[in-house]
Structure 1
Amino acid sequence: MRKCCLSHDSPHIHAFVFGQYCRTWYYISTVEVQEPTALKKVTHLSIVITSKDFNPEKYAAFSRVLCRMYIKHGSPVRMMEGYIAVLTKGICQSDENGSFFIKDYDVRKAYLAGSIKDVVSQFGMETIILYTALMLKKRIVVYHPRVEALLEFTRTLPALTWHRKDWSILHPYVHLEDKELDDLRKCTGYVAGFVDPEVVNRADLFDVFVNLLDSEITISQSSKDAMTMGKLHKEIGHLIVQSAEDTDRTDVQVIKDISVKTKEIISNLVALAKEEKGTKLTLETLKQRHFPPATESFLFHLAAAEQLLKI
């Protein structure tokens, strides 16, 4: 009930929300029931779909079709028939309630649905903090009182590390509730969204805190050493900003520009490891290169995050 917004203490109706809990995605559509309908005394309803894959647009469209079926017939039977049809045939077709074709929803489109250019427009050079945190698999907490703003912003961030294509780090709608926080703590690194302003006082939950409402990014005291910015960060930050501010470049092209630079950095790490006649790096190898301290620290922690570090 916390998520579906139909509880008595929820002041707003959210048409669609999504999130992740215990490695399962949940997608919730909520609609107002308008007469004439087979549902008597029902003013609003929510439909929840759980799945192992991340694809908000797919499940938003599918749940809308199921909602219309339930409102029209007032029975879960027809709704389940549509659900089974999608599982077995990949299609749920109805002249009255709309059609849904699973082939129309490629996961790549879901990964690219957010706007990196909007992120950079809001945070400018500070976007490099988000990039660095994601590269090093740090814990990012994002606060905004509107869940819709959280969903739009947080889902975009994993695209900064496109080489991983890992949206399992995304927990866009989390409550300050013990079970949810325990599940979050099981993750090595994550992007987690909260609507509760009290999360700013929970330093145990984040390495980087993003106040999306006020456009502020804060690095926690315990993470300042690993997140120290240097010449390499400045170079990457300028690349991100210049690419994003180029009106001729699309979001996809900006992501590609960032990804090319990322792969170059990782390739250099792999090359350093090979020079040592192995596949893993050591801190001694990095020190022999006499990198600036901030660059050395970043590359060391990145090698660990990419499992290139010899322990």
Structure 2
Amino acid sequence: EWDMAESETQLMLSVGLIEKDVNADTLWVWCYPSVSAELRDVLLRKCCLTLDSLVLHTFVFGQYYRTWYYISTVDVQEPTVLKKVTHFSVVITAKDFNPEKYAAFSRVLCRMYVKHGNPVKIMEGYIAVLTKGICQSDENGSFLIRDYDVRKAYLAGSIKDVVSQFGMETIILYTALMLKKRIVIYHPRVEALLEFTRALPALAWHRKDWSILHPYVHLEDRELESLRSCTGYVAGFVDPEVTNRSDLFDVFVNLPDSEITISQHAKEAMAMGKLHKEIGHFIVQSAEDTDRADVQVIKDISVKTKEILNNLVSLAEEGQDAKLTLEMLKQRHFPPATENFLFRLAAAEQLLKI
């Protein structure tokens, strides 16, 4: 058994502390080992303490240029050693996507800070996990890194919920993900965004790629640059203004209204045909089966995807260096929408001969 704890712990990058004081000032007060000024700006923006209306988001997460951040926020209750602090947030940055792991860990760190009012305690807890993969304290609960498998994090979103909201239109999301398109989701409540967006990469389970997930983005230049550095993505916004930013999306999901729109420039790439209808029915059927858990639905869709990909690969193998050409596809006389989809899918899967 290789030492999982060691490789796991090397995924953590930093821990930081943001406080809101009795004068309603929000400040970045401490971090270990360090966080760049640029990332700090982003984290302050993500932290709900900087919002005028204090809606308390107990936990949010997202990424910025491949650095994941996890923020737990606490409303400080009397009596406490933290005399001048009304609220605070513990911010962990890491290389991996695992919200449950970092939510649990940051909660333990929050409890330590409430009790001792000293960031050194946060640092000690952080270093304990960094070196031993475990952070134990009798009164503040303990945290064991081993308990949080990344597969669990991938499976925590609910495809069944997505399908129950969008039905047959789920095929649009599936197609967009398979073709590595840009999906933007709008909802005014960040919690709803986090829950919905994190489920979507599971529709393309064969890639197990959650780096496409940007669940909480602000319409701010640097953040949009970070987004644009990705080929395809699933991005969540709380700002309704994003509706008018068709430069950012191929597919737009208005979550409160349950509406999915394909933008004008992506219409051709996203043309739907018989194959899409068939896959769409298949997804809906699997998701609506009350006996099937989310994991099984994801598996069903994955098996279906594998079939399509295997067919593509077998077509490619007839060609030179196992690559596919449009000519080879044309010889099969697929319906136009199917041919279009398969050609673009082959490109997304790097099976095309250029």
TM-score, normalised via structure 2 length? 0.87
1:66-107: CA deviations, max 9, x gaps?
A: 011111111111111110000111100011111000011000
- Residue type at the aligned position of 2:212: I
2:275 aligned residue (232, 235, 240): 232
- Residue type at the aligned position of 2:224: L
2:140 match: secondary structure: coil
Match of 1:289 in 2: 332
Q: 2:162 matched to 1:119? A: yes
Q: 2:301 matched to 1:258? A: yes
1:275 match: secondary structure: coil
Match of 1:49 in 2: 92
1:162-204: CA deviations, max 9, x gaps?
A: 0000000000000000000011001000000000000010000
Aligned mates of 2:268, 2:52 — CA distance in 1:
42
Match of 1:69 in 2: 112
1:163 aligned residue (184, 206, 210): 206
Match of 2:219 in 1: 176
1:45 match: secondary structure: strand
2:46 match: secondary structure: coil
1:238-295: CA deviations, max 9, x gaps?
A: 0000000001111000000000010000000010011224311000100111100000
Q: 2:180 matched to 1:137? A: yes
1:3 aligned residue (46, 52, 68): 46
Match of 2:134 in 1: 91
Match of 1:310 in 2: 353
1:10 Cα deviation after fit: 3.9
- Residue type at the aligned position of 1:134: L
Aligned mates of 2:321, 2:126 — CA distance in 1:
51
Aligned mates of 2:319, 2:221 — CA distance in 1:
46
Aligned mates of 1:44, 1:287 — CA distance in 2:
62
Q: 2:248 matched to 1:205? A: yes
Q: 1:88 to 1:271 in 2, by over 3 A?
A: same
Q: 1:8 to 1:194 in 2, by over 3 A?
A: closer
Aligned mates of 2:318, 2:120 — CA distance in 1:
64
Aligned mates of 1:128, 1:187 — CA distance in 2:
22
1:218-240: CA deviations, max 9, x gaps?
A: 00000000100000000100000
2:81 aligned residue (38, 41, 64): 38
1:103-125: CA deviations, max 9, x gaps?
A: 11000000000111000000000
Match of 2:196 in 1: 153
Match of 1:110 in 2: 153
1:84 match: secondary structure: helix
Q: Percent identity?
A: 85
Gaps in structure 2 of 5+ consecutive residues: 1-43
- Residue type at the aligned position of 1:168: S
Match of 2:26 in 1: none
1:278 match: secondary structure: helix
- Residue type at the aligned position of 2:206: H
1:47 match: secondary structure: strand
- Residue type at the aligned position of 2:159: I
Aligned mates of 1:94, 1:214 — CA distance in 2:
46
Aligned mates of 1:84, 1:306 — CA distance in 2:
40
2:124 match: secondary structure: helix
Aligned mates of 2:335, 2:51 — CA distance in 1:
56
1:7 Cα deviation after fit: 1.3
1:8 Cα deviation after fit: 4.7
1:109-168: CA deviations, max 9, x gaps?
A: 000001110000000000000000000000000000000000000000000000000000
Aligned mates of 2:351, 2:183 — CA distance in 1:
23
- Residue type at the aligned position of 2:306: K
Q: What is the CA RMSD across the aligned residues, in angstroms?
A: 0.7
